[in-house]
Structure 1
Amino acid sequence: MSFIHSLSDVAACEIGKGTRVWQFVVILEGAIIGENCNICANSLIEGDVIIGNNVIVKSGVYIWNGTRIEDDVFLGPNATLTNDLMPRSKNFPEVFLGITLKKGASIGANATLLPGITIGKSAMVGAGSVVTKDVPDHAVVIGNPAKIIRYIK
């Protein structure tokens, strides 16, 4: 059974067994969230989002349409995911460029990921980094723009 805090706003969506949704979280209609996830306070998940199992979304993370998150991913506090390369008021793209986070990826606090980026399996993005291009499996990236500093298992 999942836990949904009474101070959250959760529309008709799919939430897996054992997932916890904390206060002031907004989840829009159509979102799919796997089992044993932890969605911390003050987060937002749009409707065209798929989140796998065992994912941790720390406070202040907004997950926009088109984003796909595989199992065992960690999103640090205030990580910024984007989905529009050329944002303009009242002028939306035909298709949003979501971000793909592969199994076991970790995104550090306050990191920014540009639209359409894929973060590889078990890769790590350092806190405060700005990711402007895809990150390969097992790579560790830091900086602005983020650059590979090593590989891990």
Structure 2
Amino acid sequence: MSEPRRLSIGIRDSTFGDDCVVAECVNVYEATFGDRCFVGPFVEVQNDVVCGTNVRIQSHTLVCEGMRIGDDVFIGHGVMTANSRYPQAGAAEWACEPPVVGDRVSIGSNATILPGVTIGDDAVIGSGAVVSRDVAAGTIVVGTNRVLEKPERA
């Protein structure tokens, strides 16, 4: 038996705006963050992710490669994102279809955001929701893409 190659936790080749906070025990690779962002413990932010300003990512969340996240976004605990519709172990090439999250979006704990989905500005994704198709701006989604009435805006 041989020893495995070990990958260390930490932040690699990423940039952060002013007043950002990153907890210990994170993996952040080649990502970009605007001002006043927060990354909680046990979060993984993969390559080529771009976060706007005032983004809060709670613990135990996976932000997949290539995602774009707007300004003033809240991502709850244990949110999972995916960027490949047909993943294959050991595949040399794969189609990366990262989700896109608009401005002022709230994503509840344990939600799952599937590949290629765009979540419009001011949308709310309920805890435990599975988002498998685009979400219009200002929409509330619960369950599996069950859309509630659009809230009245002042």
- The sequence identity of aligned pairs, in percent, is 30
The residue that corresponds to 2:74 in the other structure is 74
Query: 1:18 matched to which residue of 2?
Result: 19
Give the corresponding residue for 1:128: 128
- Corresponding letter in the other structure for 1:18: D
2:126 alignment partner AA? G
Which has the larger Rg?
2
Task: Give SS of 1:151's match.
Answer: coil
Question: Per-residue CA shift, 1:36-85, capped at 9, x if unaligned?
Answer: 01100000111210011000000011111110001001100001111010
Which ranges in structure 2 are unaligned for 5 or more consecutive residues? 1-8
2:50 alignment partner in structure 1: 50
Distance 1:14 1:25 in 2: 15
TM-score normalized with structure 2 length: 0.89
Aligned residue number for residue 148 of structure 1: 147
Q: Equivalent residue for 1:59?
A: 59
Question: Normalized against structure 1, the TM-score is what?
Answer: 0.90
SS at match of 2:128: coil
Tell me by how many angstroms 1:95 deviates: 3.4
1:94 deviates by: 3.7
Say if 2:123 and 2:138, in contact at 8 Å, map to a contact too.
yes
For structure 1, list consecutive stretches of 5 or more residues without a partner in the other structure: 1-7
Q: Is the 8 A contact 1:141 1:150 kept in 2?
A: no
Q: Is the 8 A contact 2:87 2:94 kept in 1?
A: no
Output the aligned Cα RMSD.
1.5
Equivalent residue of 1:141, what SS? Answer: strand
Q: Structure 1 98/111 Cα, relative in aligned 2: closer, same or farther at 3 Å? A: same
